[in-house]
């Protein structure tokens, strides 16, 4: 299978590209290496992927020659985008419309009429739900994002549905619920917690810490992508990818303390605009459609991320 992974040098993109190569698939990785976080981290990921046999292309989806990039591609995994709830307010919003909406529309337009293309898997987000009407939240719930970031992810998802309905582009959108694991972005909570548990230092919590999240381990997300690429699914489908943990941030810290065997220093600061009080995904649709279910428990995943952080500390 010939695959294109956009955002290949990012967190999920690196794990997905590595898994694809391990199974013998051809992988072209596309990444623009934006500076939302340390670019060198992504360049190191790209170097490792190149060694693994991934053909890496540095390019902006809004500019690159997509006809050439998509030539002969069987499956597109569209993970590229501008992340982050906090940064999506104010003057930075244009980066989100550019990288999340315009880039997706251009990719979809270039995918029209391509006979070789069997699937385009889009990485959406549970942020589209906002404070949902009910939990666990199914795909039929009314989307009501609380952040500009969530608005742009939902807009791109709607574009995927439109291009499927109007031009038969074989899209499927996966709504990720709080992905974590080794290699996670440095600004994300689990990475900050894991590094504090491994090295000491203070953890900053936004709000009370009683906000509840449905944490999903990265290998389970990768598996959902592979099943979405190969399985029988209607074009334009939208599916939740959720780990089923439903625990508070404070409980996560307690698990990190148990795993590390040490107490963590925690500082609470004001909650941020756009931060939802709870997430929790109903995964019955993806289970019945693709046979997917989460296999990594929260404690197991936290232990893996803690060991990864310990390894980083030893390498310094």
279-302 pLDDT, tens digit per residue, is: 999 999 999 999 999 999 999 999
> Which residues share a beta bridge with 217?
180
The residue range of the domain holding 31 is 2-177+218-242+276-295
For residue 109, CA distances in Å to 71, 112, 114, 164, 168 come to 14, 6, 10, 11, 11
Q: Kindly state whether residue 250 falls inside one of the protein's structural domains.
A: no
Q: SS in 3 state form for the chain?
A: CEEEEECCCCHHHHHHHHHHHHCCCEEEEEECCCCCCCHHHHHHHHHHHHHCCCEEEECCCCCCCHHHHHCCCCEEEECCCCCCCHHHCHHHHHHHHHHHHHHHHHHHHHHCCCCCCCEEEEEEEHHHCCCCCCCCECCCCCCCCCCHHHHHHHHHHHHHHHHHHHHCCCEEEEEECCEECCCCCCCCHHHHHHHHHHHCCEEEEECCCCCEECCEEHHHHHHHHHHHHHCCCCCCEEEEECCCCCEEHHHHHHHHHHHHCCCCEEEEECCCCCCCCECCECCHHHHHHHCCCCCCCHHHHHHHHHHHHHHHHHHC
Q: Kindly state whether residue 126 falls inside one of the protein's structural domains.
A: yes
Count of positions (residues) in the chain = 316
> Which residues share a beta bridge with 57?
30
315, pLDDT greater than 80: no
Q: Kindly state whether residue 53 falls inside one of the protein's structural domains.
A: yes
Q: pLDDT tens across 41-53, in order?
A: 999 999 999 999 9
Determine whether 96 is an active site residue.
Answer: no
Catalytic choice (96, 122, 149, 180): 149
Q: Kindly state whether residue 225 falls inside one of the protein's structural domains.
A: yes
Q: Kindly state whether residue 199 falls inside one of the protein's structural domains.
A: no
Q: CATH number for the domain including 234? A: 3.40.50.720
Count the domains in the chain. Answer: 1
Q: pLDDT tens across 206-251, in order?
A: 999 999 999 999 999 999 999 999 999 999 999 999 999 999 999 9
Q: Kindly state whether residue 301 falls inside one of the protein's structural domains.
A: no
Q: Kindly state whether residue 35 falls inside one of the protein's structural domains.
A: yes
Mean pLDDT, rounded, of the chain? 96
pTM over 0.75: yes
Q: Kindly state whether residue 234 falls inside one of the protein's structural domains.
A: yes
Q: What is the mean pLDDT of residues 29-37?
A: 96
Q: What is the mean pLDDT of residues 9-28?
A: 98
The HSE-up count of residue 86 (CA atoms within 13 Å, CB side) is 7
138, pLDDT greater than 90: yes
316, pLDDT greater than 80: no
User: How many C-beta atoms surround the C-beta of residue 92 within 10 A?
Assistant: 15
Given this model, what pLDDT does residue 219 score?
A: 98
């Amino acid at each position: 299978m010939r695959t294109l992974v956009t955002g290949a040098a990012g967190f999920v993109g690196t794990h997905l590209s590595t898994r694809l190569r391990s199974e013998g698939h051809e992988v072209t990785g596309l990444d623009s290496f934006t500076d939302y976080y340390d670019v060198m981290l992504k360049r190191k990921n790209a170097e490792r992927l190149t060694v693994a046999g991934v053909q890496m292309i540095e390019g902006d989806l809004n500019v690159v020659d997509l006809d050439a990039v998509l030539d002969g591609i069987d499956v597109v995994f569209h993970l590229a985008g501008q992340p982050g709830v906090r940064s999506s307010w104010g003057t930075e919003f244009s980066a989100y419309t550019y990288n999340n909406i315009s880039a997706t529309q251009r990719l979809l337009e270039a995918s029209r009429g391509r006979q070789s293309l069997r699937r385009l898997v889009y990485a959406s987000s549970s942020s589209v739900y906002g404070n949902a009407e009910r939990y666990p939240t199914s795909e039929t719930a009314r989307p009501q994002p609380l952040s500009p970031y969530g608005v742009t992810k939902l807009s791109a998802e709607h574009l995927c549905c439109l291009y499927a309905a109007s031009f038969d582009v074989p899209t499927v959108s996966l709504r990720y619920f709080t992905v974590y694991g080794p290699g996670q972005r440095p600004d994300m909570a689990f990475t900050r917690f894991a590094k504090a548990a491994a090295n000491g230092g203070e953890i900053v919590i936004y709000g009370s810490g009683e906000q509840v999240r449905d944490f999903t381990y990265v290998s389970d997300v990768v598996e959902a992508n592979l099943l979405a690429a190969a399985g029988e699914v209607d074009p334009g489908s939208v599916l939740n990818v959720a780990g089923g943990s439903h625990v508070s941030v404070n409980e996560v810290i307690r698990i990190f303390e148990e795993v590390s065997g040490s107490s963590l220093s925690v500082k609470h600061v004001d909650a941020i605009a756009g931060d939802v009080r709870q997430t929790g995904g109903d995964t019955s649709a993806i289970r019945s459609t693709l046979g997917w279910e989460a296999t990594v428990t929260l404690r197991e995943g936290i232990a893996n991320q803690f060991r990864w952080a310990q390894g980083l500390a030893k390498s310094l």
